[in-house]
Amino acid sequence: MKLATRIAAALLGLGLVAGAADAQTVDQRHYNQQERIGAGVESGRLTPHETARLEHQQASIHHQEARMRYRDGGRLTYRDRAILRHRENVASNHIWRAKHNRRWG
């Protein structure tokens, strides 16, 4: 198991609530992105290659968040949130473009 996955599991297992409002926002955004990818798969709008690429991007963002939280004792700094927000915005754009590029899976 990769270190980042262990760290994420440990943080979730501990039930850390530090920065609960921020965590909910970051976690909700991640959930929404996953739902959009899932909807694209179900509708056939995403090819398997596109899906894999988008899932890999989401995993990278999630692992970066886990590293940031581990580094700062379970909290996200303002800068951390800004970085994650930017990466999720870029990912959101990638999801939209992949779902609307007229390729079918």
State pLDDT tens for residues 12-62. Answer: 554 444 455 555 688 899 999 999 999 999 999 999 999 999 999 999 999
Residue 33 forms part of a structural domain: yes
Give dist(CA 44, CA 66) in Å, integer.
31
Domain range spanning residue 49? 3-99
Closest CA to 62 of 96, 37, 42: 37
The answer to whether 4 and 63 are in contact (CB under 8 A) is yes
**Whole-model pTM?**
0.73
Residue 105 lies in a domain: no
* Number of domains observed in the structure of the chain: 1
Assess if residue 17 is contained within a domain.
yes
**Ordered alpha helix ranges (H), the chain:** 3-14, 20-43, 48-71, 78-99
The answer to whether position 104 is within a domain reads: no
The span from the CA of 80 to the CA of 28, in Å, is 16
